[in-house]
């Protein structure tokens, strides 16, 4: 919108609109889980090709995140998100086309990659935009809306694909039901695109591009006169200092450690194993925990519910007890959860025959393992899930924020792809086979590996992550210099 109005804008309205990008992040990532069972049969896919199609969006997200920094710097946070919304629409529409055309998995991969690019753009620009318009005392809470939206996206798409599939026969789902599941994403994607035209541009981006009058007007409309004057002064002082200083980049000696710390934290978020659980939950419940097909849906709903509820805990506490304490508490919780599951599997005799007619753990062991997974999910949802996005959105200085955020988020998507590809390899490895079959780890290997990385996370947070609660983005530039 080019016209500058004096009408106040509710910051929660802006935040909710922007976090629809997070909802689409979760929706687009999760929709593949509801569709792959059917389009795999439609295309008669091999396991390797199915794995590539499922993970192709992650490659797109890596590309999108890597290019989002330059895009954001050139056209701004708002226009970048508009571009992302258009790509979400194209991906959702196009992903259902292959069943209407000659059998072509290539088309499906192309449109999944387009959706991934949209995810990459949104995952960088949405939390950064929120951080740049939020007052310091509310920033942590507002940025956690983004993670909440991702979780809601997963939850909604799980319900949408279930209800679409439940209304059709299996033959109908294989023939065309999976197309409808993909197309259901068009509703939130169009809503996101339309509402983006009712939010302002980032005042920090405007000031960097010498549009101070428009920036000041937007700050007043969001925060009111008193806070706006203070915010404007701090942003201007920071930008003026950047102009007077020598040209800087993410590789500048004084700034590189901040970029490395942010990127390592972003990458470690994926090495918790969260997406192994979210992507392969059905396989875990059936193969490792011994649950029957009828129980898997209930367990997935349970995971999604715990994920959602514990994200609210982070929202209400991140600006009260701080970022670092939440990360430490959540780290120990994740470790306890996976160790419960790992040791239960490792010491199981697998003498119980489950509903699929194959050896599994006993119902009691299954319940203990399920509790372990729920403790892990809840601990992640109140810590590494939302808090990492908060920290990434606030630790990078104005002068390198777009580029640094792009590097950190691209690293996260690369780690996501790596974990998603290696998890099934670990599960099927000879070492992970049952001890009665000559294996060593009795199906527990992945959870001990993730536990090892969680220990690294706890140590890393304790040693390298400072508390950033209550500081303005401009004050943040001095935190890492201490």
pLDDT of residue 480: 58
The verdict on 139 and 181 lying in the same domain is yes
Q: Is residue 260 part of a domain?
A: yes
- For residue 86, the model assigns a pLDDT of 97
**Same domain, yes or no: 216 and 118:** no
Residue 3: predicted pLDDT: 42
Token digits of residue 394 = 């606030």
For the stretch 283-326, pLDDT in tens is 676 655 555 544 555 666 778 888 889 988 988 888 888 889 99
Residues 355 and 240 grouped into a single domain: no
Least confident of 109-118, 217-226, 296-305, 394-403: 296-305
* Whether 269 and 337 share a structural domain: yes
Query: In this structure, is residue 191 part of a structural domain?
Result: yes
The residue that leads in pLDDT, 47 or 449, is 449
Name the domain boundary from 168, 199, 230: 199
476 lies in some domain: no
Residue 388 has pLDDT above 70, yes or no: yes
Residue 368 has pLDDT above 70, yes or no: yes
CA 313 from chain center: how many Å? 17
pLDDT tens-digit map of 13-23:
999 999 999 99
Is residue 353 classed as helix, strand or coil in its secondary structure? Answer: strand
Q: Is 347 found in the same domain as 232?
A: no
Shared-domain flag, residues 154 and 257: no
Judged against a pLDDT cut of 90, whether residue 80 lies above it is answered with yes
Q: How many residues does the structure list for the chain? A: 482
Are residue 124 and residue 220 in the same domain, yes or no? no
Residue 42 lies in a domain: yes
Which whole-number Å values give the CA distances from 129 to 41, 353, 401, in the listed order? 41, 52, 11
Pair 211, 282 in one domain = no
CA 383, 386, 389 angle in degrees (round to 5)?
120
pLDDT of residue 256: 85
Domain span at 19: 7-199
> Which residues contact residue 216 at a Cβ distance below 8 angstroms, ignoring those fewer than 6 apart?
203, 228, 232
Structure tokens given for 82: 């508009």
Model pLDDT, residue 289: 59
With respect to residue 428, please indicate whether it lies within any of the assigned structural domains: yes
114-146 residue pLDDT tens: 999 999 999 889 988 888 888 777 877 888 888
pLDDT in tens, 236-261: 877 776 665 556 677 777 778 888 99
Residue 478 lies in a domain: no
Full-model pTM: 0.77
For residues 334 and 331, give the distance between their C-alpha atoms in angstroms, rounded to a whole number.
Answer: 5
What is the rounded CA–CA span in Å between residue 476 and residue 80?
A: 25
* Residue bearing the bigger pLDDT, 386 or 88: 88
Domain holding 277: CATH number?
A: 1.20.1250.20
Percent helix, strand, coil in the chain, to 5, is 80, 0, 20
**pLDDT surpassing 50 at residue 1:** no
In a domain, residue 481? The reply is no
Retrieve residue 76's tokens. 């701004």
> Domain total for the chain?
3
Ranking 26-35, 118-127, 212-221, 386-395 by mean pLDDT, the lowest is: 26-35
Q: Enumerate the β-bridge partners of residue 360.
A: 352
Where is the domain boundary, 191, 218, 244? 244
The reply to whether 475 falls in a domain is no
Element (H, E) at 391: helix 384-395
The CA distances from residue 53 to 47, 95, 96, 344, 418, in Å, are: 10, 11, 13, 33, 15
pLDDT score of 384: 94
Same domain, 64 and 137: yes
């Amino acid at each position: 919108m080019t016209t500058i109005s004096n009408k106040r804008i509710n910051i929660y309205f802006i935040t909710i609109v922007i976090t629809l990008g997070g909802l689409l992040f979760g929706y687009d990532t999760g929709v593949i889980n509801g569709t792959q069972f059917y389009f795999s049969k439609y295309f008669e896919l091999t396991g390797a090709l199915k794995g590539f199609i499922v993970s192709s969006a992650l490659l797109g997200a890596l590309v999108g995140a890597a290019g989002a920094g330059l895009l954001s710097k050139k056209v701004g946070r708002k226009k970048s998100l508009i571009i992302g919304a258009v790509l979400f629409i194209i991906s959702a529409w196009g992903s259902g086309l292959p069943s209407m055309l000659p059998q072509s998995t290539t088309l499906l991969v192309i449109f999944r990659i387009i959706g991934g690019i949209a995810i990459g753009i949104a995952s960088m620009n949405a939390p950064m935009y929120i951080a740049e318009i939020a007052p310091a005392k509310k920033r942590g809470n507002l940025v956690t809306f983004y993670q909440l939206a991702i979780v809601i996206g997963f939850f909604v798409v799980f319900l949408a694909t279930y209800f679409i599939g439940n209304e059709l026969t299996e033959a109908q789902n294989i023939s065309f039901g999976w197309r409808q599941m993909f197309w259901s994403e068009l509703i939130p994607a169009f809503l996101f695109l339309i509402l983006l035209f009712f939010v302002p541009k980032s005042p920090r981006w405007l000031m960097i591009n010498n549009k101070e009058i428009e920036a000041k007007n937007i700050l007043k409309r969001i925060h009111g006169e008193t806070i706006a004057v203070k915010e404007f002064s701090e942003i201007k002082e920071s930008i003026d200092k950047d102009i007077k200083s020598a040209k800087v980049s993410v590789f500048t000696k004084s700034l590189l450690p901040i970029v490395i710390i942010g990127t390592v934290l972003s990458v470690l978020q994926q090495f918790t194993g969260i997406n192994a659980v979210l992507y392969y939950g059905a396989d875990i419940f059936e193969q490792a925990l011994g649950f029957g097909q009828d129980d898997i849906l209930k367990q997935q709903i349970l995971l999604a519910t715990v994920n959602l509820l514990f994200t609210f805990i982070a929202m209400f506490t991140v600006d009260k007890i701080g970022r670092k304490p939440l990360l430490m508490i959540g780290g120990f919780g994740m470790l306890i959860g996976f160790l419960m599951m790992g040791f239960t599997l490792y010491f199981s005799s697998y003498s119980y025959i489950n509903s699929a007619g194959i050896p599994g753990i006993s119902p009691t062991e299954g319940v203990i393992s399920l509790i372990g997974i729920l403790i892990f999910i809840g601990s992640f949802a109140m810590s590494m899930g939302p808090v990492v996005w908060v920290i990434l959105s606030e630790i990078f200085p104005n002068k390198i924020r777009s580029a640094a955020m792009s590097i950190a988020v691209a690293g996260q998507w690369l780690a996501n792809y790596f974990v998603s590809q290696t998890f099934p390899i670990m599960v099927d490895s000879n070492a992970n086979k049952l001890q009665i079959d000559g294996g060593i780890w009795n199906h527990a290997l992945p959870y001990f590996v993730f536990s090892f990385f969680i220990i690294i996370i706890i140590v890393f947070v304790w040693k390298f992550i400072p508390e950033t609660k209550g500081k303005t983005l401009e004050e943040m530039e001095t935190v890492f210099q201490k």
